[in-house]
Amino acid sequence: MTHKFSVCLYQPDMPQNLGVIIRTAACLEFPLHIIKPLSFSMTDKRFKGAVMDYIDHCTLHHHNSWDDFKDFSESSNCRVILATTKTQNSIYEYKFKEKDIILFGKETAGVPDFVHNQIIEKITIPMNSKTRSLNLATSVAIVTSTIINSI
């Protein structure tokens, strides 16, 4: 069940979320890109407790900066789509394509304005107006399962 899309995390800052997302990527077989720096070590016990041995079953790509990731995505002819609360484009109506990379911002701050401004394609998970956002790992699971069912 190998899928033809990827997920990218912009400087994740909660080790447990990264561990859970790596497990999701391993189980659903999509590559995971991580834009550094991380605010924690991958030897952190919270990370290790969440990821367990799933890291051995996940295809991980590390990028040292936004520019490195952007160069990679452009040279690979991949479309980068930002998952954000700052759009009305529902994931349930979006037309995903093979080679798409879905970018998620850091848990505490999203992506910086300069990244947000460089990305044309944006999607959101529709939610009620009384809440701000979902947990990052939950959002990745919802978006990836939606893509799997649409490509």
Instruction: Give residue-wise pLDDT tens across range 28-59.
Output: 999 999 999 988 777 778 777 767 788 889 99
Tokens representing 112 are 């910086």
CATH classification of the domain holding 60: 3.40.1280.10
Higher local confidence (pLDDT), 79 or 150: 79
- Say what angle helices 136-148 and 15-28 make with each other, to 10 degrees: 20
Whether residue 1 is contained in a domain is answered as no
Question: How far apart, in whole angstroms, are the C-alpha atoms of residue 89 and residue 144?
Answer: 16
What confidence score (pLDDT) does residue 8 get? 98
Q: Helical H runs in the chain?
A: 15-28, 45-51, 66-75, 113-118, 136-148
Max alpha carbon distance in the chain (Å)?
A: 41
What confidence score (pLDDT) does residue 124 get? 97
Task: Judge whether residue 145 has pLDDT over 70.
Answer: yes
- What range defines the domain where residue 20 resides? 6-148
Paired sense of beta strands 32-35 and 101-104, if any = unpaired
**Considering the entire predicted model, what is its pTM?**
0.93
Task: Judge whether residue 61 has pLDDT over 80.
Answer: yes
What confidence score (pLDDT) does residue 2 get? 58
CB 121 within 8 A of CB 84: no
Whether residue 47 is contained in a domain is answered as yes
Q: How far is CA 40 from CA 17, 50, 106, in A?
A: 12, 14, 13
Task: Judge whether residue 84 has pLDDT over 90.
Answer: yes
Q: What are phi and psi of 20, to 5 degrees?
A: -65, -40
What is the percentage of the chain residues whose pLDDT exceeds 70? 96
Whether residue 129 is contained in a domain is answered as yes
Number of domains in the chain: 1
Whether residue 65 is contained in a domain is answered as yes
What confidence score (pLDDT) does residue 135 get? 95
Q: Please give the torsion angle defined by the CA atoms of residues 87, 67, 71 and 29, in that order, rounded to the nearest 10 degrees.
A: -60
Cβ density class 2-20: b for 16+ within 10 Å, e for less: eeebbbbbbbbbbbbbbbb
When the pLDDT of each residue in the chain is averaged and rounded to a whole number, the result is 92
Task: Judge whether residue 1 has pLDDT over 70.
Answer: no
What is the percentage of the chain residues whose pLDDT exceeds 90? 77
Task: Judge whether residue 116 has pLDDT over 90.
Answer: yes
